[in-house]
Amino acid sequence: MAVQTQGVWARYQPGPVPSADRYLEVRDDTESLAEPLSAEDQTVQTMPDVSPTKWHRAHTTWFWEEFVLGPNQPGFQPFHPEYRYLFNSYYESVGPRHSRPQRGLITRPGIAEIAAYRRRTDDIMCELLSSSRAADVAGIAELGLNHEQQHQELILMDIKHVLWCNPMRLTYRGETDARAGSARAAQWIHHPGGLVDIGHDGAGFAFDNEGPRHRELLQPFLIADRPVLCGEWLEFMMDGGYRRPELWMSDGWATVTQGEWSSPLYWTQGEGDGWSIFTLNGVRAVVPEEPVCHISWYEADAFARWTGARLPLEAEWETVHDTLPPAAQTHALRLHPRSVDGAGGSPGDVWEWTASPYSPYPGFHPAAGAVGEYNGKFMVNQFVLRGGACVTPPGHTRPTYRNFFPPSARWAFSGLRLARDA
């Protein structure tokens, strides 16, 4: 099933060669996300998991230089010899790289230099994609576009943490899309279990970790038709959920106590029992009908145990995907999850934690070379999330998409959906 194109990666048969117009559309989307931010905003790194906005802009440009232009454009010379070191993320096969936790210490190059870096790379890429050699780079160019879109979501995740760490609680954009809904009880969807086929079928683009397609045996199960809401999470908190060790995995309890967690990330308690939430649109009251967001796997697992339910397996989630109410994959980008209305509506715009560790599917083999480091080497000590979020680019919410984070991570737009044994 794997296709090698001049020694670079293409896990599935690529479709048409990406056009220069499509390339520029994706690249312009990245710049649009950075546009509201000052040079200072784009330089700050507030924790090791967060990267500065200008680093994302530079790294995605480095990717085009390293994996597309360098191997395929005769006579190509990199924009700056030090950028290969500064903006390599984790590709050991490429060479040494700057320490991830110290990305925020790099004041230069500044945003003007990075803008020039992007423009120069775009000019050469458009020339390549408009040439007779374009077909030779179809697979790696498609990967590059999807890679850049992944970083667009990371830009919003990371700048949210940066702005939240400022005591002024600055906003990214001032408009708000908050709306109250009418809370409804979750309905349970029954599945009889049995042998099911999961994983990408090879038609169109997918990341290598989405395949190979294979069969898994499921026991009968029930899965909720919507994610858990903030109002339900408030009940968990009021029942002492963050103070009851019997609900938590041992490592989760250690994480909760060490971090003094008492609520999801970005929640703060005001006078009385009122809770506020920091969003990219600013601070406002928690809306009970919205899906709970910015919780770790540890929190999701503890909540599920508190309800007497559990988290779904990723194979269960994928198997029932088409029977769930309309999901987030049709939406335009928003900066916060929508409320779940009484009629059903959106099941929520949050990535949903599963009970499945992030591990290779049967028959998975990383591609040879540096691009093979894209996903495979992270298949340990992490859990899979499914579905997509309000900040996820279109096309990245397909049923087979496997997002993954360590169980303590909370800065992603992550929530949960409950499941039960039938």
**296 vs 311: CA distance, rounded Å:** 13
Digit-coded pLDDT (tens) for 6-65: 333 344 445 688 999 999 999 999 999 999 999 999 999 999 999 999 999 999 999 999
Tokens of 140: 């790696």
Q: How far apart are CA 328 and CA 114, in angstroms?
A: 33
Q: Which helix (H) or strand (E) holds 232?
A: helix 230-238
Strands (E), 122-253: 188-191, 194-198, 214-218, 221-224
For domain 3-165, the question of CATH label 1.20.120 is answered with yes
Output the six-digit token pair for 214.
């294979």
What would the pLDDT profile of 127-152 be if each residue is shown by its tens digit? 999 999 999 999 999 999 999 999 99
The ranges assigned to domains in the chain are 3-165, 188-421
Model pLDDT, residue 2: 28
Phi/psi at 160 (5° precision): -60, -45
- CA dist 216 and 264 (Å) reads 33
Output the pTM of the full model. 0.93
Q: Do domains 3-165 and 188-421 have the same CATH topology?
A: no
Mean pLDDT, the chain, rounded, equals 90
- pLDDT for residue 12: 44
pLDDT band for 119, please (50, 70, 90 cuts). Answer: very high
Q: What CATH superfamily is the domain 188-421?
A: paralog of FGE (formylglycine-generating enzyme) (3.90.1580.10)
Burial class (CB in 10 A: 0-12, 13-18, 19+), 213: middle
